């Protein structure tokens, strides 16, 4: 029986002519399951698994394989590999005898025979083993392969195609996944473990450890106990193929990657790492203020190329997968430069125009809108330069009243803030103070349009030799004036002081913003070459505690800007055509005399504050939102609140909670002496036809 089986196999094997592909074709067909995102200098930023069905790394040539791995492989799987012609007849006779006579399982497949099974799916062993027909064909294919492939090619192909453990296919994947090494660096102990896995890729760690010990003894000079310990340690932890540090996971998700692809992006790996580390350091500083997330974006002004894209700090975040660069958030005061820029461009204001920072209450369909400044006080009359530089809220809302909500909304959309997808009425007056969600990507590119003289162009992730068309969204002269204000340390001194994290090595235009309830914190600005945007907050939307733009996002912005200016501090841009410069004097002297910039035809050397009767009427009283308490020791009829009309207001009617005030409450000078009534109340002034011109909310307890 034994002799007959051997003769039959030999006879049929001679007749099999397997049509197997050549070595070059097999190697070319090997495609990694990973894709790699590279920086502008071809340095690795991020590896991404694209093929979810298999796990392979790039093909490794025999010259790049550790000699220890080759020795361990031959010792474990095919000791006469270098001398046979594809079939080890001596081993096969022994295997047949053991299987048929001693009734024990023993294999005799050479590396070449195993390789043809890896190349040809029809020759692979299934759960029930190979049929006699498959075995005949496998022998014939192995003999044929040896005629056309060199021994070196067979070893190389086998190690790249063999499955080692779970989904770890190929020597590169196994070495990286189990030992964190390239195959060229494998030592004898590691090679023994990997060779032992080939006989049973999914065997229990203890079984593999025992087999690895046997391999180590065959190749010599390896301690068995050390090999066993190494095997158990490697197999009892999850394989890791990704580099120890990944730098651009959020950006990688935006790219259309194919298996085996290496895609060069516009990013700079050194800058990306610096920005990421800077975010982490700042968040550690803010950890006691309920802050755990941040994002940053760096753009090249001229090309629009993204130099750094950090969507999350990762280490400090409980929502590291959320990309803070593309997440829509409330921008706070960061929209003000565009508001003033549009107003200046339309001739409604100049940088010297006076605006009143005083209590303001506006009727809206949703109720009374009462803007407040960050410091909860009012500065009185200020110039546009001071209003923007110091980021005062009420002057911004007054500017929006001049420009119009729809016109401002349309201007923001032209500047690329497409997240503002509703119409202007949806956002209302709150749009002046950032009452509509935008993304850091959109906002940073809008600031870049200011840096580029009012021209908006798309951002670029993949470098290209072709230019990118853009469109003008603001006049060059208006954009220059806004940049000059944002770079003016004196203009922002009223709120931020003369020394703050908004200062950099060279010239820079910068604006901070904080959304309602301190949920979002921003700092955006540009130099002559770069635009940097930073967001700090919580991906969950949880409010921060006592964090403003200058204490949250600004330190990150400053660090990145200074890093970009090392060796070449930014210079102020040259003044474009269409501007005039004048010495301006204010009467009365609300601000010191200074040189100011004007659009051609709008210049003036003397700014006189408007007369009171030209201003909209307003209510003077306890203060909007005041809480008043009645004194139990004073008769109720004697407890009254005094409200008067400032800035004109002839012919106006006092109303309390929407009804005309009792004439008995009116004083001779037209003021209102209102008896305190417990509860929340609305005190307002209206015209004869019922239109509200001013209002104030008070609560009596």
- Cα torsion angle, 462, 464, 469, 473, sign: positive
- Nearest Cα neighbor of 470 from 493, 452, 494 is 452
Name the phi and psi angles at 422, rounded to 5: -85, 170
- For the chain, percent of residues with pLDDT exceeding 90: 69
Task: Tell me which H or E stretch contains 276.
Answer: helix 269-285
In this structure, are residues 553 and 533 in contact, taking their beta carbons and an 8 Å threshold?
no
Q: Which fold has domain 614-700?
A: Immunoglobulin-like (2.60.40)
User: Is the pLDDT reported for residue 11 higher than 50?
Assistant: no
Separation CA 541–CA 431 (nearest Å) = 19
User: Is the pLDDT reported for residue 16 higher than 50?
Assistant: no
- Output the average pLDDT for the chain: 89
3-state secondary structure of 154: helix
How many helices (H) and strands (E) in the chain?
A: 22, 29
Q: What is the pLDDT of residue 466?
A: 64
Separation CA 112–CA 93 (nearest Å) = 17
> Which residues are bridge partners to 532 per DSSP?
298, 525
Question: How does residue 6 score in pLDDT terms, banded at 50, 70 and 90?
Answer: very low
Task: Tell which wins on pLDDT, 295 or 240.
Answer: 295
Per-residue pLDDT of 38-78, as tens digits, reads 999 999 999 999 998 889 999 999 999 999 999 999 999 99
Per-residue pLDDT of 528-580, as tens digits, reads 999 999 999 999 999 999 888 788 999 999 999 999 999 999 999 999 999 99
Residues 287-310, mean pLDDT to the nearest whole number: 96
Separation CA 616–CA 274 (nearest Å) = 51
- Locate 101 and state its tokens: 């006579």
Separation CA 79–CA 88 (nearest Å) = 9
- For the chain, percent of residues with pLDDT exceeding 70: 91
User: Is the pLDDT reported for residue 97 higher than 60?
Assistant: no
In this structure, are residues 262 and 291 in contact, taking their beta carbons and an 8 Å threshold?
no
User: Alpha-carbon Rg of the chain, whole angstroms?
Assistant: 38
- Cα torsion angle, 267, 273, 278, 284, sign: positive
- Locate 85 and state its tokens: 């012609």
3-state secondary structure of 209: helix
3-state secondary structure of 387: helix
Q: Which positions ≥6 away from 273 have C-beta within 8 Å?
A: 247
Intervals of CATH 1.10.3810.10 along the chain: 2-235
Task: Tell which wins on pLDDT, 221 or 171.
Answer: 171
In this structure, are residues 163 and 138 in contact, taking their beta carbons and an 8 Å threshold?
no
Task: Give the DSSP per-residue string, 682-695.
Answer: EEEEE-TTS-EEEE
Given the structure tokens 């692979």, which residue do they identify?
124
Q: For helices 67-77 and 188-199, give the axis angle rounded to 10 degrees.
A: 40
- Nearest Cα neighbor of 697 from 636, 590, 623 is 623
Given the structure tokens 């005898």, which residue do they identify?
97
User: Is the pLDDT reported for residue 680 higher than 50?
Assistant: yes
Name the phi and psi angles at 356, rounded to 5: -95, 125
Separation CA 608–CA 562 (nearest Å) = 40
Per-residue pLDDT of 622-670, as tens digits, reads 877 778 888 777 787 788 898 888 766 678 899 999 899 999 999 888 8
Q: From residue 254, how far is each of 257, 259, 445 by CA, in Å? A: 9, 15, 17
Intervals of CATH 2.60.40 along the chain: 614-700
Q: Which positions ≥6 away from 64 have C-beta within 8 Å?
A: 182, 183, 184
Q: Give me the architecture of the 2-235 domain, per CATH.
A: Orthogonal Bundle (1.10)
Q: What is the pLDDT of residue 122?
A: 81
Separation CA 185–CA 68 (nearest Å) = 9
Per-residue pLDDT of 433-482, as tens digits, reads 999 999 999 999 999 999 999 999 999 999 985 657 889 999 999 999 99
Separation CA 355–CA 398 (nearest Å) = 8
Name the phi and psi angles at 179, rounded to 5: -125, 0
Task: Give the DSSP per-residue string, 577-628.
Answer: TTEEEEEEEEES-SS--EEEEEETT---SEEEPPPGGGSPPEEESS-TTEEE
In 200-352, the DSSP E strands lie at: 262-264, 293-300, 306-310, 328-329
Residues 254-262, mean pLDDT to the nearest whole number: 94
Separation CA 119–CA 467 (nearest Å) = 47
Question: How does residue 10 score in pLDDT terms, banded at 50, 70 and 90?
Answer: very low
Q: Is the peptide bond before 588 cis (omega within 30 degrees of 0)?
A: yes
* Other Cβ atoms within 10 Å of 218 Cβ, number: 15
Please give the distance of CA 417 from its chain centroid, rounded to a whole number.
17
Intervals of CATH 3.40.710.10 along the chain: 328-435+468-498
Q: What is the pLDDT of residue 649?
A: 63
User: Is the pLDDT reported for residue 3 higher than 90?
Assistant: no
Q: What is the pLDDT of residue 103?
A: 41
Class of domain 328-435+468-498: alpha beta
Give 580-585's long-range contacts (Cβ < 8 A, gap of 24+). Answer: 584/352
Question: How does residue 13 score in pLDDT terms, banded at 50, 70 and 90?
Answer: very low
User: Is the pLDDT reported for residue 207 higher than 80?
Assistant: yes
Q: What is the pLDDT of residue 615?
A: 58
Per-residue pLDDT of 305-352, as tens digits, reads 999 999 998 877 888 899 999 999 999 999 999 999 999 999 999 999
- Cα torsion angle, 56, 62, 65, 67, sign: positive
- Locate 219 and state its tokens: 């190749």
Name the phi and psi angles at 678, rounded to 5: -55, 145
Q: What is the pLDDT of residue 616?
A: 66
Strand order in the sheet with 579-587: 594-599, 579-587, 606-608
Per-residue pLDDT of 481-528, as tens digits, reads 999 999 999 999 888 887 889 999 999 999 999 998 889 999 999 999
Q: What is the pLDDT of residue 130?
A: 58
Separation CA 398–CA 445 (nearest Å) = 26
Please give the distance of CA 174 from its chain centroid, rounded to a whole number.
32
User: Is the pLDDT reported for residue 361 higher than 90?
Assistant: no
Task: Tell which wins on pLDDT, 375 or 389.
Answer: 389
Separation CA 6–CA 117 (nearest Å) = 21
Question: How does residue 123 score in pLDDT terms, banded at 50, 70 and 90?
Answer: confident
């Amino acid at each position: 029986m034994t002799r007959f089986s051997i003769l039959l196999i030999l006879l049929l094997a001679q007749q099999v002519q397997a049509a197997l592909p050549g070595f070059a074709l097999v190697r070319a067909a090997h495609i990694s399951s990973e894709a790699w995102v590279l920086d502008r200098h071809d340095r690795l930023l991020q590896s991404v698994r694209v093929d979810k069905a298999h796990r392979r790394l790039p093909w490794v040539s025999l010259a790049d394989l550790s000699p220890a791995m080759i020795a361990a492989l031959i010792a474990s799987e095919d000791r006469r590999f270098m001398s046979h012609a594809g079939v080890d007849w001596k081993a096969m006779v022994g295997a047949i005898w053991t299987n048929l006579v001693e009734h024990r399982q023993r294999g005799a497949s050479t590396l070449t025979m195993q390789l043809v099974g890896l190349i040809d799916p029809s020759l692979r062993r299934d759960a029930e083993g190979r049929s006699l027909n498959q075995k005949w064909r496998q022998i014939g294919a192995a003999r044929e392969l040896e005629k056309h492939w060199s021994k070196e090619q067979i070893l190389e192909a086998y190690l790249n195609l063999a499955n080692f453990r779970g989904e770890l296919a190929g020597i590169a994947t196994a070495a990286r996944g189990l030992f964190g090494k390239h195959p060229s660096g494998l030592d004898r102990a590691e090679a023994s473990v990997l060779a032992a896995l080939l006989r049973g890729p999914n065997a229990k760690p203890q079984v593999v450890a025992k087999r690895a010990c046997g391999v180590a003894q065959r190749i010599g000079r390896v301690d068995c106990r050390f090999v066993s310990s190494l095997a158990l340690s490697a197999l009892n932890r999850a394989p890791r193929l990704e580099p120890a540090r990944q730098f651009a996971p959020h950006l990688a998700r935006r790219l259309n990657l194919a298996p085996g692809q290496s895609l060069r992006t516009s990013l700079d790996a050194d800058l990306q790492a610096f920005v990421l580390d800077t975010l982490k350091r700042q968040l550690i500083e803010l950890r006691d203020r309920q802050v755990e997330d941040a994002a940053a974006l760096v753009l090249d002004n001229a090309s629009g190329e993204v130099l750094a894209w950090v969507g999350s700090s990762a280490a400090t975040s409980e929502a590291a997968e959320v990309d803070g660069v593309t997440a829509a958030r409330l921008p706070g005061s960061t929209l003000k430069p565009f508001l003033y820029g549009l107003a200046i461009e339309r001739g409604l204001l100049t940088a010297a125009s006076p605006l009143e920072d005083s209590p303001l209450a506006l009727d809206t369909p949703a109720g009374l809108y009462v803007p407040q400044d960050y410091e909860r006080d009012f500065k009185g009359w200020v110039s546009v330069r001071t209003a923007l530089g110091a980021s005062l809220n009420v002057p911004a809302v007054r500017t929006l009243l001049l420009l119009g909500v729809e016109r401002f909304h349309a201007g923001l959309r032209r500047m690329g803030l497409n997240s503002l997808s509703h119409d202007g009425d949806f956002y209302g007056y709150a749009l002046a103070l950032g009452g509509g969600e935008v993304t850091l990507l959109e906002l940073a590119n809008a600031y870049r349009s200011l840096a580029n003289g009012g021209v908006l162009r798309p951002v670029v992730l993949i470098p290209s030799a072709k230019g990118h068309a853009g469109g003008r969204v603001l006049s060059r002269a208006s954009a220059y004036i806004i940049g000059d204000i944002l770079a003016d340390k004196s203009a922002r001194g009223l709120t931020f002081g003369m020394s703050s994290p908004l200062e950099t090595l060279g010239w820079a235009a910068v604006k901070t913003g904080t959304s309602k309830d301190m949920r979002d914190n921003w700092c955006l600005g540009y130099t002559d070459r770069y635009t940097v945007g930073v967001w700090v907050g919580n991906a969950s939307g949880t409010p921060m505690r006592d964090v403003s733009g200058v204490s949250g996002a600004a330190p990150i912005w400053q660090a990145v800007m200074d890093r970009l200016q090392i060796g070449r501090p930014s210079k102020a841009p040259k003044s474009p055509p269409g501007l005039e410069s004048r010495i301006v004097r204010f009467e009365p002297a609300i601000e010191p005399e200074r040189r100011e910039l004007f659009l051609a035809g709008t210049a003036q050397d003397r700014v006189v504050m408007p007369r009171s009767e030209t201003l909209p009427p307003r209510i003077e009283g306890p203060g909007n939102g005041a809480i008043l308490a009645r004194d139990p020791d004073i008769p109720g009829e004697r407890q009254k609140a005094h409200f008067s009309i400032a800035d004109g207001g002839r012919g106006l009617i006092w109303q309390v909670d929407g009804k005309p005030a009792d004439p008995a409450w009116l004083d001779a000078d037209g003021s209102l002496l209102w008896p305190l009534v417990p509860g929340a109340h609305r005190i307002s002034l209206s015209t004869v036809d019922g239109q509200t011109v001013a209002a104030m909310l008070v609560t009596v307890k």
